[in-house]
Amino acid sequence: MQLFLEQLLNGLATGSIYALVSLGLALVYGIMRILHVAHAAVFTIGAYVGLLFFDLTGSLFLAVLGSMAVCALVGVSIERFVYFPLLKYPPFVPLIASIAILLSVEELCRLIAGPQILTFNAKLPFPEFHMAGVTVTSTITAVYCITAAVLLLLWFITTKTELGLAMRAAAQDIAVADAMGINSHLIVSITFVIGSAIAAVAGILVGIYFNQVYPTMGAIPAYKTLALIVVGGLGSVPGAVVASLLLGMAETLLIGYANIPLPRDALAFIAMIGVLMWRSQGLLGSR
Amino acid sequence: MNRPLLEITGLSKHFGGLRAVDGVSFDIQRGEILGLLGPNGAGKTVCFNLVSGVYKPTAGQISFDGQRTDGLSPHVIAGLGIGRTFQIVKPFAHLTVLENVLAARGIARYRSLPNIWSSWKTPAERREALRLLERVGLADLAERRAGLLPLGNLRRLEIARALAVGRTLLLLDESFSGLRHEEISQLEALIRAIRADGLTVLLIEHNMRVAMGLCDRLIVLDHGRKLTEGRPAEVRANEAVIEAYLGRKGSAHAA
Amino acid sequence: MSGYLITLGTIIAINGIVACGLNVIVGFAGQISLGHAAFFGIGAYTAALLATQAGLSFWAALPLVIAVSALIGLLLGIPSLRVREDFLAITTIGINFIVEAIFNNFEFFGGALGIGGIPRVELFDLKLRGTEFLVLCLFFLVVVMVVCWWLTRCWAGLACFALREEEAAAASVGISPVRFKLLAFVIGTGMAGLGGALYAHFMRFISASDFAFPLSVSLLSMVVVGGIGTLWGPILGAFIIGVLPEVFRPLIDYRILFYTMLLLLMIRFQPGGLLGENSAARRVLAKMLPEGKP
């Protein structure tokens, strides 16, 4: 029982991290219909920049802020200089560009910071818990709290503010939003800012949680989160979150308990194909 | 022999709560030019899409030449000899005008696996395709890339494609829309010639003058339901029709 | 010719064959496939197993290899068509990951160690190696290109082109989208399988990581850089993508970065590919030639 509870908590934590990463991806897809694989590059940059600022200032708070700022800038630059000019081409063109960006960023990180795994020894200012004989570390508590906070903030922005209304309008039908006087390009850029900032937080969180920062840390999330936003229903942020949590728990429990001979990463895609066969618009997607 | 070519009975198409087409019934007789009229949102294009197989009906039946066709896929219905144009033109943009028509001429072959491997670049095929282009007046643009054509020519290209496919019935969706004066006259003449060749034509049209002048009979839809049907003179005088188009004030409508 | 150049040429030729297959799927029929490496791998593993376990010669196994690759392409293609266009990219990525995982984790495929000891191709009692094997690959490349050329001239190809341009209009002229998309898929994966067989007998040792997602990205890049939907595009692309890392080799540490940055720049500024219409290359050529199109 204790083991099961531990696995469940770990799985929920993993799922929360997936959710943080796939959030940005779902937001971008919802508004631009582009598979922003380079989001994982932003995530990686977030981890490295966060580590750098933390080493320089000793303050995790400053590190998070600085990293969010840098990543927001990177994200918007990608949108303005790469995606926007390629909008009129078939979707795999920006997709290849996105993959090229991810690979380039991996290489840049390797060249600048070295190929070795760096450690991120930060103490997250969150409490430790003991319940039912299981220790919930401060890191795991941090993951839960931060994910919940981000989701809450996002929910607030999208449902209670004018910006959020504009974002939802643009996601529904960008031409109509334009006609209604919404500066849709600005909205798109703001979406990238928000998504990239969240990716920065996710990167730092992952860096601390696994105590590892390395150039290819974005590779697996890149493709797994693609599967997750499909399962959740392309463009549906709640769907992406639900799918992420489910996958996190499924991966941890299946690997911990059952002995499935396939690696964790293929599981995400198997689940994805299974869900698509059953509901071709994803869990919470609309037709 | 007097069986209608197309019989539509109790046809309905609901999109969630929206009843785009609601219990519509009418027939098309062989060799007639039937017009489908109605204000915007009346359900005319949805009807077309139901007949050509793009949508499956929520309820009702469609019979073509005595055979049930509701629920069949668009390419199967095309194979039965029903050709159509699209309200928003859909040319094969990167292919030439000639290749656009040739693609339509392939309809005889696409169904059978052995037949699709023969070449379409034969003089005989080219002749036939050019013949169709001549009918619509596009023969001298045969080698032009279709995506570069202006709207008027694109509409004619759509008709050429539909002619290649439509052995018996032609569905023309607002083919006069956006055309200049001379182009309209030419197209009217073409449609009459098509009918003289033995085809049946169902057309959606907003241009009243064209619709009244060209069609043998008219069906008027409003909010998904059939308002009335009859000869142009009857329909033109029908109060309900005038109201549907112009509201209760009902001033003269110039095409 | 030095051994190094022969090896490079062979890899480029094999990649060219596989890229031509991808071009049929992506360029002719307009379907996205980001998992093409999986079918390359299916061909390679089938050839490897038939050679090492069943003792079949390359020539005897070849029809089977192509058939298996095409058949699995058909089977995986059917569910792929059920999903919306955006989903298709991700579904094909998923296929790549899953197939790679299957090769990596089941003993039947040699697990993580892969399959080794694949014999060379024999022709009339002569073991083909070096230049001879390169010639064999070039021969098959020519065959594949002839098939592609024939496709552009036959009704099947015309149907695929129409489908690529406007699916609704294609259906309205009698083209069954499902049937012709699957046809393109089957042809494309069959060609990939052929490339896989050649690869297996060339490397003589294969493992799952040879057929991972990055290769699918490379293959798609070859098609796009060369010019999607053109006849020579995939070959040109295979050549460029094959030669670039070697050209940048003197840069040692920086070569991958240069390569990915170049890919990004090419895609960003020449999305139609080098042989695509309106590409800078075509315009320069048009100015150089007195008249007419290249």
Mean pLDDT of chain B: 87
Q: How far is CA A29 from CA A234, B29, B31, in A?
A: 7, 49, 50
Q: What single-letter amino acid sits at A28?
A: V
Phi/psi class of residue C124: alpha, beta or left (left: φ > 0; alpha: ψ in -120 to 50)?
left
Look at residue C292 in the predicted model and tell me its pLDDT: 44
- Pick the more confident residue, C131 or A162: C131
Which residue in this structure is represented by tokens 């829309």?
B177
CB-CB: which of B53, B86, B115 is closest to C169?
Answer: B86
DSSP-based three-state secondary structure for A269: helix
Name the least confident of A118-132, B94-108, C194-208: A118-132
- C166–B contact, CB cutoff 8 A: yes
Q: Which two tokens stand for residue C173?
A: 């002229």
Share of chain C above pLDDT 70, in %: 96
Q: What is the pLDDT along chain A (287 residues), one digit of tens a residue?
A: 667 788 888 888 889 999 999 988 888 888 888 889 899 999 999 999 999 999 888 888 889 999 999 999 999 999 999 999 888 887 778 888 998 999 999 999 999 988 888 888 877 777 777 777 777 787 888 888 888 998 888 888 888 888 888 877 777 777 777 777 777 788 889 999 999 999 999 999 999 888 889 998 988 888 888 888 888 876 788 888 988 998 888 888 777 666 666 677 777 788 777 777 777 666 666 64
Are A96 and C263 within 8 A, CB to CB?
A: yes
- All domains in chain B, ordered by first residue: 6-246 (3.40.50.300)
What is the ipTM for the molecules in this complex?
0.88
DSSP states along A170-202: HHH-HHHHHHTT--HHHHHHHHHHHHHHHHHHH
Domains of chain A, residue spans: 13-217
Radius of gyration of chain A (CA): 19
CB burial of A170-191 (b: ≥16 within 10 Å; e: otherwise) equals bbeebeebeeeebebeebbbbb
The pLDDT score that the predictor gives to residue A282 is: 66
Burial class (CB in 10 A: 0-12, 13-18, 19+), B122: exposed
The CA-atom distances, in angstroms, between A173 and each of B18, C83, C174 are: 19, 21, 32
Nearest-CA neighbor of A5 among A258, A211, A252, A259?
A252
β-strand pairing of B82-84 with B169-173: parallel
Question: What is the pLDDT at residue A175?
Answer: 74
Interface-testing mutation among C148, C155, C175, with chain B (most B C-beta atoms within 10 A): C155
How would you class C153 by CB atoms within 10 Å of its CB: exposed for 0-12, middle for 13-18, buried for 19 or more? Answer: middle
Q: CA A286 to CA A235: how far, in whole Å?
A: 9
Tell me if chain B has a CB within 8 Å of the CB of C81: no
Q: What is the pLDDT of residue B28?
A: 93
Q: What is the pLDDT of residue B255?
A: 38
The shortest CB-CB distance from B118 to any of C154, C159, C166 is to: C154
List phi, psi (to 5°) of C194: -60, -45
Q: List, in sequence order, the alpha helices (H) in chain C.
A: 3-23, 36-52, 58-82, 85-105, 130-153, 155-165, 167-172, 177-203, 213-226, 233-247, 255-269, 280-288
Across the interface, whether the CB atoms of C173 and B121 are under 8 A apart is answered no
Judged by CB atoms closer than 8 Å, whether chains meet at C217 and A99 is answered as yes
C264 and A272 in contact by Cβ < 8 A?
Answer: no
Q: Check residue C255 and give its pLDDT.
A: 75
Closest-CA distance of chain A to residue C98, Å: 5
Q: How confident is the model at residue B253 (pLDDT cuts 50, 70, 90)?
A: very low
Query: Residue B125 carries which side chain, given as an amino acid letter?
Result: E
- What is the three-state SS of C22-66? HHHHHHHCCCCCCCHHHHHHHHHHHHHHHHHCCCCCHHHHHHHHH
A33 and C34: CB-CB below 8 Å? no
* Least confident residue range of A233-237, B58-62, C189-193: A233-237
Write out the E strands in B142-255.
169-173, 200-204, 217-222, 225-230
Shortest Cα distance from C5 to chain A (angstroms)? 27
pLDDT of residue A136: 78
Mean per-residue pLDDT for B24-33?
Answer: 92
Nearest to A86 among C26, C256, C268 (CB): C268
Nearest C-alpha neighbor of B170 from the set B86, B70, B100? B86
CA distance A247 to chain C (A): 15
Is the pLDDT reported for residue C86 higher than 80? Answer: no
C159 to B106: CB separation less than 8 angstroms, yes or no: yes
Both tokens of B170, joined, read 């032609």
Q: What is the pLDDT of residues C100-112, one digit of tens each?
A: 989 988 888 888 8
Comparing CB atoms, the residue among B94, B104, B161 nearest residue C165 is B94
Task: Quick: pLDDT tens for B177-224.
Answer: 888 888 888 889 999 999 999 999 999 988 888 888 899 999 988 888
| Domain architecture of chain C: domains with CATH | 3-249 (1.10.3470)
Per the model's pLDDT, the better-predicted residue between C277 and B10 turns out to be B10
pLDDT at residue B121 is higher than 60: yes
Strands B6-15 and B59-64: antiparallel
Hey, how many other C-beta atoms are within 10 angstroms of the C-beta on A83?
A: 22
Per-residue pLDDT band at C252 (split at 50, 70, 90) = confident
List the single best residue of B110, B119, B173 to mutate versus C (max C Cβ within 10 A). B110
Run of H or E including C115: strand C115-116
B43 touching C (Cβ < 8 Å) = no
Beta-bridge partner residues of B35: B203, B218
Any chain A CB within 8 A of the CB of C78?
Answer: no
Q: Tell me the percentage of chain C whose pLDDT exceeds 90.
A: 46
Q: Give the B window 78-137 contacts with C, CB below 8 Å.
A: 78-79, 83-84, 86, 90-95, 99, 102-104, 106-107, 109-111, 115-121
Q: Find the residue in C nearest to A268 (Cα).
A: C94
| Distance separating alpha carbons of residues C187 and C31, to the nearest angstrom | 13
- Chains touching chain B through at least 3 C-beta pairs below 8 angstroms are C
Look at residue C80 and tell me whether its pLDDT is greater than 80: no
CB proximity A99 to C under 8 Å:
yes
**Residue A286, number of CB atoms within 10 A of its CB:** 10
What distance in Å separates the CA atoms of residue C140 and residue C201, rounded to the nearest whole number? Answer: 14
The answer to whether C257 contacts A104, with C-beta atoms less than 8 Å apart, is yes
Chains that touch A (3 or more CB pairs under 8 A): C
Given CB atoms, is C77 within the 8 Å cutoff of chain A? no
Among A106, A269, A283, the strongest candidate for a mutation testing the C interface, having the largest count of C CBs within 10 A, is A269
CA B11 – CA B25 distance, rounded (Å):
6
